[in-house]
């Protein structure tokens, strides 16, 4: 019996309200040559019931962990149960186009590669979005599309695909990553080190509905992402981090750099929530450039604080 073209692996935790948007988009695909493997990483909100209600519309193969085991473990469990030739990782807060499956599969025709589809944030009309979020989103996509091939491994995250046998050869995602993020960057780096080209496919950009909508939410994520670098450093060494950061800093730090670094000393989750609320209240009354800097200070200093003080990232995602 021939294998399915693709298996879509969906790691999810607390995704009961997010999953219907994704499942509706997958049900509207222009092909049925695929299966969907949602992996519930500890059911805290009835996600299993949501998946059960969609079983008549999609080829669903749900996997439910009885306790939280982390995103890497969820991704690996989905890949282990997949029967498709191509494994597509799709986060539970995405809304892909109707040619999402066929587009990913087509990118693998005739070549061995990893494919990055990218995401674009759907932001509500908040003070954060107007002052910072929309501009940051546009800049992120422009920067991603401009990366040279040797740097695209850094983009491996929410909307990516790989041949199933290559996924198995790499050994899946590293379960040592239990903080927010970086299990995906680690996987992309190992693909890169194995000589597998990673192709960016702009036609596969998916709408991302789970983006931060406030300054505090965005800054806390930056804090946790900074803390997760500690694991990447321990696994791959400082040379890999330099490669991620485009090498060592070649010019003296600017005044802004010094302000951000100094502010990072005071960053905790509690201070970020307080600062973020104050910033979101203030930015509508400030000039656009000042408002953007006010939010950028929180986000950038939080990222540095996560690197310098990883123990300050206490919450869970």
Work out the average pLDDT over 54-81.
Answer: 96
| Confidence band for 254, pLDDT divided at 50, 70 and 90 | very high
Work out the average pLDDT over 231-260.
Answer: 83
Work out the average pLDDT over 35-49.
Answer: 97
Report all structural domains of the chain as residue ranges with CATH numbers, in order of start: 6-208 (3.90.550.10), 215-312 (no CATH)
DSSP string, 85-149: SEEEEE-TTEE--TTHHHHHHHHTTTS--EEE--EEE---S-HHIIIIIHHHHHHHHHHHHH--G
Reading the block at residue 127, the tokens are 């003070």
| Confidence band for 317, pLDDT divided at 50, 70 and 90 | low
pTM: 0.93
What whole-number distance in Å separates Cα of residue 94 and Cα of residue 218? 18
Q: Would the pLDDT of 250 be above 70?
A: no
Sequence length of the chain is 317
Q: What is the mean pLDDT of the chain?
A: 94
Q: Would the pLDDT of 35 be above 60?
A: yes
Work out the average pLDDT over 178-207.
Answer: 94
Can you list the alpha helix ranges (DSSP code H) found in 147-268? 164-170, 183-193, 215-236, 238-244, 255-264
Span 115-140, pLDDT tens digits: 999 999 999 999 999 999 999 999 99
Q: Could you identify the residue written with the tokens 């969820």?
A: 74
| Confidence band for 53, pLDDT divided at 50, 70 and 90 | very high
Reading the block at residue 244, the tokens are 């991620």
Q: Would the pLDDT of 292 be above 90?
A: yes
Residue 180 is predicted with a pLDDT of 78
Give the β-pairing of 114-116 and 63-65: unpaired
Q: Would the pLDDT of 1 be above 60?
A: no
């Amino acid at each position: 019996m021939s294998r399915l073209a693709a298996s879509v692996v969906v790691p999810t935790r607390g995704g009961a309200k997010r999953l219907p948007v994704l499942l509706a988009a997958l049900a509207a695909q222009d092909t049925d040559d695929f299966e969907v493997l949602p992996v519930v990483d500890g059911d805290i909100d009835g996600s299993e019931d949501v998946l059960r209600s969609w079983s008549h519309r999609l080829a669903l193969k749900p996997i439910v962990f009885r306790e939280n085991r982390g995103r890497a473990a969820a991704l690996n469990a989905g890949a282990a149960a997949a029967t498709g030739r191509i494994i597509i990782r799709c986060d539970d807060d995405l809304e892909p186009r109707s040619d999402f499956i066929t587009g990913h599969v087509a990118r693998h025709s005739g070549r061995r590669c990893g494919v990055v589809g990218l995401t674009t944030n759907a932001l509500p009309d908040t003070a954060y979005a107007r002052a910072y979020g929309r501009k940051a989103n546009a800049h992120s996509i422009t920067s991603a599309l401009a990366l040279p091939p040797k740097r695209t491994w850094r983009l491996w995250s929410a909307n990516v695909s790989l041949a199933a046998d290559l996924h198995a050869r790499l050994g899946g995602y590293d379960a040592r990553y239990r903080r927010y993020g970086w299990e995906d960057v680690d996987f992309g780096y190992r693909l890169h080190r194995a000589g597998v080209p990673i192709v960016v496919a702009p036609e596969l950009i998916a709408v991302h509905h789970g983006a931060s909508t406030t300054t505090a939410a965005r800054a806390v994520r930056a804090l946790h992402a900074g803390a997760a670098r500690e694991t990447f450093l321990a696994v791959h060494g400082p040379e890999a981090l330099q490669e991620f950061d485009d090498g060592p800093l070649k010019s003296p730090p600017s005044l802004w750099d010094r302000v951000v670094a100094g502010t990072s000393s005071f960053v905790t989750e509690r201070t970020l929530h307080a600062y973020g609320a104050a910033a979101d209240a203030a930015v509508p009354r400030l000039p656009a450039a000042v408002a953007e800097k006010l939010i950028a200070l929180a986000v950038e200093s939080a990222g540095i604080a996560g690197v310098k003080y990883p123990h300050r990232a206490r919450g869970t995602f």
